Amino acid sequence: MNGIVNVLKPPGMSSHDVVDFVRRAFDIKKAGHTGTLDPAAAGVLVVCLGTATRLARFLLLEDKEYRFEITFGLSTSSGDAFGEIVGEGDASKIVEEKVRSVLPCFTGEILQVPPMESALKYRGQKLYQLARKGIVVERQTRTAHIKSLEFVWGTGWGSRHPRALLHLSCSKGTYVRSLCDDIGERLGCGAYMSFLVRTKVGSFDISDSVTLEEIRSAAGSGRLAEKVVKMEDALPEFPAVRIKAGAVASAVSGAKIYPPGVESLNGNIHSGDIVRLIGPEGLLALARAEVDEEKKGGMAFKPVCVLAQQGGQR
């Protein structure tokens, strides 16, 4: 089976464990996720099955949304609730208006230092593996794009450790625990991420996600296919280019598709854009649009990720 499952990852399981569960449920060897969630975190985990694993590198680039709780007045070694307390400040003077006032400072392009608990590699080892050994290394700052950061709810104002619930829309590579740490530093009291749920990855929303129990139940009743999103529906932001039956063999062999082989175009396409090449039987490949030098103003499409085999089978 080829396609994508929008899984509601429960807290307490690693992303790898969830993929293993899905692999066993679907009785499939090839499966992988498109972006790790911490074991303590919950929310959308996009799992690709079979040929759809070839789409993972594109899905990794998708924007994400998170709902998270930040606790003020404490800093931890890990930036979340599972680390040791390494700093304590009095946040009793922090009020909702003050929190709201600093949020615009963390929108747009920002610089972050990746936490030691991230999956980034340092000399061949993931940072969280080093952190578990008590090793801390210097990390280079990275740029993240924060599309929006909104205040949702708050409680405990006037106490030493009030909490706030925030909603974040951001680019790939944004570290929420680092964001919490930076907000706490800006407010002068310290802070850590006390709860996290990922609510969206690209077009995959938490409202459409399926639980592990739902997957288990569907497997028992022979309805697993109902839980799978077709590959052609996974990246709706890429324009659809429908090609003629006679051009299918060229597309699946990786050859460039020229205007005579195109049936129709959907959307305003520019040179360099990634598009979905769709044949009579469905998605064939993702391709990059290029100006056809032989036909001024026309577009040709060079496959960069072939998803179908000869004959159009996937």
Question: What DSSP designation does 224 have?
Answer: G
DSSP H helical segments within the chain, as ranges?
15-26, 56-59, 96-102, 127-132, 176-187, 212-220, 248-252
Structure tokens at 233: 């529906």
Q: How many residues does the chain have?
A: 314
Q: Which residues pair with 301 in a beta bridge?
A: 257, 289
Query: Which residues have a Cβ under 8 Å from the Cβ of 147 and sit 6 or more positions away?
Result: 63, 107, 169, 170, 171
Q: Report how far residue 63's alpha carbon sits from residue 41's, in angstroms, rounded to the nearest whole number.
A: 18
Q: Walk across the sheet containing 262-265 and list its strands.
A: 262-265, 240-243, 274-279, 282-291, 299-306
Phi, psi torsion values for 259, nearest 5 degrees:
-50, -40
Closest CA to 2 of 224, 211, 218: 224
Establish whether 38 is a catalytic residue: yes
* Residue whose tokens read 């064939």: 284
Q: Which residues pair with 75 in a beta bridge?
A: 87
Closest CA to 279 of 248, 246, 307, 309: 248
Do the bridges between strand 240-243 and strand 274-279 make them parallel or antiparallel, or are there none, so unpaired? parallel
Question: Of 17, 20, 38, 80, which residue is the catalytic one?
Answer: 38
Residues classed as catalytic: 38
